[in-house]
Amino acid sequence: MKTWLSVTLLTLCVVTSAAVREPVPDRLVVLTFDDSVASHATFVAPLLKKYGFGATFFITEGFEFATDKEHYMTWAQIKGLHEAGFEIGNHTRRHAGVAKQPPEQLAADVEYIEQQCAQHGIPRPTSFCYPGYQTSEAAVKLLRERGYRFARAGGARAFDPAKDEPLLAPQAFDSKPDSTLEQFKAAVAQARDGKIAVLTFHGVPDIKHPWVNTDPAKFETYLAHLKEQGCRVIAARDLKPYLVP
């Protein structure tokens, strides 16, 4: 009887601890970079290394990725980001809005980036980013079936893993040419009381898509602020302990 009771209690404890998320520390920030822009490899990654910050680079072969290797990364550069310790996430083959895609096409576009990663010795992505911030229930289902744990959508508020679906996580900041340091600080300040600030960038600079450009000098002031605040700056994959298993 005693043995049975202790085995039962032990099992209960194990089951309970497996289902419990770790508490989210204040000042937890996730950096994300979309669209495979060349400046991610040439400017952003070396600067992040200097600061000791993690980040996720969301890779697509959309736009002029195949032909314009001045403005878009090569797969060798993408592999270099992985080898430097950054996360490679999936932003789909064609960068098409998922809500308008037939299910087979969406599945193929997601799978294509996974295959490219495998071919280049990069781990299978577990983080996803919705092209153009367009989401769909079918996409969430597909991502869950394929083992994704986190997917970033649009929005303008912090991610609350206690309440939000991690496959529809909102961004707290979306860097645009006219974004200000004050706006950046306000977004980062939301990383408290269980909430996480997920921050979105495109190219730094982004020559081909000037409407999502971030000025390199301004970007440095953003990173300096994160350091000053003592933020823990991580990749999306590092959120795992804070998400419901």
Report the interface residues with Zn ion, using CB under 5 A.
34-35
* C-alpha angle 219-207-100 in degrees, rounded to nearest 5: 100
Determine the residue with CB nearest Zn ion. Answer: 34
Furthest-apart CA atoms within the chain: distance in Å: 72
| CB contact burial 17-36 (16+ within 10 A = b; e otherwise) | eeeeeeebeebbbbbbbbbb
For Zn ion, the closer CB: 28 or 167: 167
Smallest gap from Cβ 174 to Zn ion, in A, equals 11
For Zn ion, the closer CB: 191 or 199: 199
For Zn ion, the closer CB: 92 or 126: 92
Residue 209, burial from CB neighbour count under 10 angstroms (0-12, 13-18, 19+)? middle
146 with 105: CB under 8 angstroms?
no
CA distance 174 to 170: 10
For Zn ion, the closer CB: 34 or 174: 34
Smallest gap from Cβ 54 to Zn ion, in A, equals 20
CA distance 58 to 152: 10
Smallest gap from Cβ 222 to Zn ion, in A, equals 19
For Zn ion, the closer CB: 34 or 206: 34
Smallest gap from Cβ 57 to Zn ion, in A, equals 11
Smallest gap from Cβ 107 to Zn ion, in A, equals 19
